[in-house]
């Protein structure tokens, strides 16, 4: 199974600040303007695993309609990764080993 990130950043002329966050306890970096989903999918090949099996999930609609991208913060708050902007210090928990 490939562990290559599912998303790859393209070159941009617009400078964006880095945003530090944690993904399942691992220190990661996203970019200003990233959604949580984008920040996670440039880290690896899946967002989370299915609630019903170990099938990989990566979001589907990317616009807040399908409910496929729920993740949790360490505080217990659940959020849709595709409609939530990444903020510094966010502690995202998916339950996966990364
Ligand atoms: S990917 Fe569909 S709601 Fe987030």
Question: pTM of the full predicted structure?
Answer: 0.89
Query: In a mutational test of the pocket of ligand 1, which residue from 48, 50, 82, 92 has the highest number of ligand atoms less than 8 Å from its CB?
Result: 82
List residues near ligand 1 (CB under 6 A).
59-62, 64-69, 80, 82
DSSP-derived 3-state class of residue 39: helix
18 alpha carbon to ligand 1 midpoint, in Å?
A: 24
Residue 96 neighbours by CB under 8 Å, 6+ apart? 24, 46, 48, 49
Is 75 a member of any domain?
yes
Per-residue pLDDT tens over the stretch 15-36: 999 999 999 999 999 999 999 9
What is the domain range of residue 57?
A: 19-93
Per-residue pLDDT tens over the stretch 27-65: 999 999 999 999 999 998 889 888 888 888 898 899 999
Look up residue 25 and give its two tokens. 């306890």
Distance CA 4, CA 61 (A): 21
Is 11 a member of any domain?
no
- Tokens 């220190």 belong to 27
Look up residue 33 and give its two tokens. 């303007």
- Total domains, the chain: 1
Residues in the chain, total: 98
Q: For residue 38, give the CATH number of its domain.
A: 3.10.20.740
């Amino acid at each position: 199974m490939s562990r290559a990130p599912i998303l790859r950043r393209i070159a941009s002329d617009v400078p964006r600040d880095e945003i530090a966050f944690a993904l399942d306890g691992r220190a990661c970096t996203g970019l200003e303007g990233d959604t949580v989903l984008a920040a996670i999918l440039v880290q690896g090949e899946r967002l989370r695993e299915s609630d019903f099996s170990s099938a990989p999930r990566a979001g589907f609609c990317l616009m807040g309609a399908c409910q496929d991208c729920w993740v949790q913060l360490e505080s217990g708050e659940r959020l849709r990764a595709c409609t939530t902007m990444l903020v510094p210090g966010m502690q995202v928990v998916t339950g996966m080993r990364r």
